[in-house]
A and B are shown apart, each in its own frame.
Chain A
Amino acid sequence: EDQVTQSPEALRLQEGESSSLNCSYTVSGLRGLFWYRQDPGKGPEFLFTLYSAGEEKEKERLKATLTKKESFLHITAPKPEDSATYLCAAGGGGADGLTFGKGTHLIIQP
């Protein structure tokens, strides 16, 4: 059974304090590893897709990386508007949709 585990569950940072969010996955035949951002009352907003170990993608203050067992979302010099829940999801070879982690609730304090 495909599994995705995110840590920490919650993270509080000061503005400008860089950190990383972790996503561990156990998926047979990974088709893609996805990162989403979700704000309260809204649907998840697509950030990145990673397909193979060693791949990296960047967008503004966010950088996503992928190994054979984990993905990291690095946030550099975050701002209060980066506060959100960050979701990791894996698409497996069984093609039973995406398997999501429970998310990391990130709070950036000014």
Chain B
Amino acid sequence: KAGVTQTPRYLIKTRGQQVTLSCSPISGHRSVSWYQQTPGQGLQFLFEYFSETQRNKGNFPGRFSGRQFSNSRSEMNVSTLELGDSALYLCASSLVGTGNYGYTFGSGTRLTVV
């Protein structure tokens, strides 16, 4: 079966711009989580959506936002990009958004801010 699909794979943006990343979860998975991965901080939790509702949010500024659609697809948006936002952004989906099942990750979107 198809895995978690993230688009685009690579993105280069300029400081001050905004960006939207997309994630299509595994069919039947209703929970979608987003993580930021950097060499210095590792993987850090951004937010989780379940049935179109944000269930949890990590410790990131309000420039980072997301949403989930009725078909479980999710998008995350970063406004007013900063150089420090350069990272690999990973999306993960699971059958139940309680953490009691393995999260399946996509290959990520590599964002470079210049």
Contact = CB atoms under 8 A, between A and B. Distances in A.
Contact of A99 (B6, B45, B90, B107): B45
A100 B42 contact: yes
Nearest to A85: B42
Given A46-B103, A102-B42, A96 B56 contact: yes
Interface residues of B, number: 28
A91 B4 CA distance: 21
Interface stretch (A16-24, A37-45, A59-67): A37-45
Interface in B18-68: 33, 35, 42-48, 55-58
Contacts, number: 66
Contacts of B35: 97-98, 100
A69 B107 CA distance: 31
Nearest to B94: A46
Report whether over half of chain B's contact residues are helix, strand or loop; otherwise say mixed. strand
B45 A97 contact: yes
A96 B32 CA distance: 13
A44 B105 contact: yes
A32 B99 CA distance: 7
Given A31-B98, A98-B99, A87 B104 contact: no
A94 to B, nearest CB: 8
A49 interface: yes
Interface of A: 31-32, 34, 36, 41-46, 49, 51, 87, 89, 91, 95-103
Given A43-B4, A98-B43, A98-B45, 14 more contacts: A34-B103, A43-B6, A44-B43, A44-B105, A45-B105, A46-B103, A49-B100, A87-B43, A97-B35, A97-B46, A98-B33, A98-B35, A99-B45, A100-B35
